[in-house]
Structure 1
Amino acid sequence: MFPCVPAIWPQSYQGRNLPRSTRLPEHPPGIWKGIDIFQEYDPRILGNNALVPFLVAAVEDYFKSTFIALLRYSARKETFLKGIRLQGEQLLAISDGKATVEEQISETLSFQRLSAVCRHFDALDTKLDIAGALRKPYHRRSQSLFESLESLVLSRHDFIHRATVDPTMTDERIESLIYDLDASMTRVYRHITEHYGWFFEKSWGLGRRLSRKKARNSNAA
């Protein structure tokens, strides 16, 4: 079916028609072990890097769900809807009762980058200031929760789009990021309830984080 493929592909693969500097390496059978970059890192480091996209997805889902709830009852809902254009499939889903208008609108927006998330919430209520809540000091450290989330998203992009592995993504750091996510979601939730005068109730939690010394002793055991 493709008469030219057998004639061209083997020669190109073996490097016969390529300059010496660009020829593909000839790996002896049984020695080639796969992608070099994966051989340079500890499996736990690779595993922790692979967790980063899932952490970002969790944050994205949280902000999207929160935005949907606020949009549904927002006083600026009509104004916000004027700037939205839905596709035929989205309108059909609404017509068939498979999704709400707010849910389909959220699908047209990005909730990955925190700067974009804050713009969406500002469009509903300019006084809400999600960014301000996340930029407040946290545990007397120099990096705010806002900066931590932004850094997490950048790490996700590097891993997914550039295959860049962060060698500092140890178990301790990934645990710290998970606690940062919990603290960020809690702070945003508390900020929203206080802003609108709603009742705050946290029904989830990770528990108190172990100190570094206790964590090492626990891992050693």
Structure 2
Amino acid sequence: MIRVMVVDDEALVRSGLTMILNAAADIEVVAATGGGQALAAVATYAPDLVLLDIRMPDVDGLTILARLMELPLPPVVAMLTTFDSDQYIVAALRSGASGFLVKDTDPDELAHLVRSLAAGTVALAPQVTATVISGYLHHHGERRANTHAVARLSARERDILVLLSQGLSNADIGRRLHLSIGTVKDYVSAVLAKLDVSNRVQAALWAQRAGLLDGAPA
């Protein structure tokens, strides 16, 4: 069971997302709060995944994200948005967000994205993907810098990077490369460390910028 917490300043949004996600047999919304109650609710309910509004009037979503990332065992955090302002999206990515979802995502797709996030894969709504890539990479230099960073990876680590960038879970990568899940986890940790990034979304963007995904099978 995937334990989810919804944080949004609008009660209607909270109730709608809760209803949609609770309809899935493997997902349970353990709490739905406004921004002011978010940190206390995380401490109480220990969710696996937090869906966090990126901009709220009482407490800014980016502030909550930063506080959550300071926890010893932070939950996976995906930002909820209704717009594509790279000012907020890029800031959230750099602070450790693992995904970006729009609030009007199709119900079936929302459950799928939640499962992907819980499995540790990249989850970007199509509406924000272009903004995330262009904005984040703009803040991290030209293609040459990304190529140099990726060049530090071993051949196997580059294989791992390409597959995680395509949204594969650790289990999927293990099956593709005939490796144990534990070995894949070790490789993923090494890739993140060598690229000096904090999550798989950021690693995927480095791979995109370095050209590793050019011509890679979907």
Normalised to the residue count of structure 2, the TM-score between the two structures is: 0.28
- Greater RCO, 1 or 2 (C-alpha within 8 Å, sep 6+): 1
Q: Identify, as 1 or 2, the structure richer in helix.
A: 1
Higher-Rg member (1/2)? 1
Normalised to the residue count of structure 1, the TM-score between the two structures is: 0.28
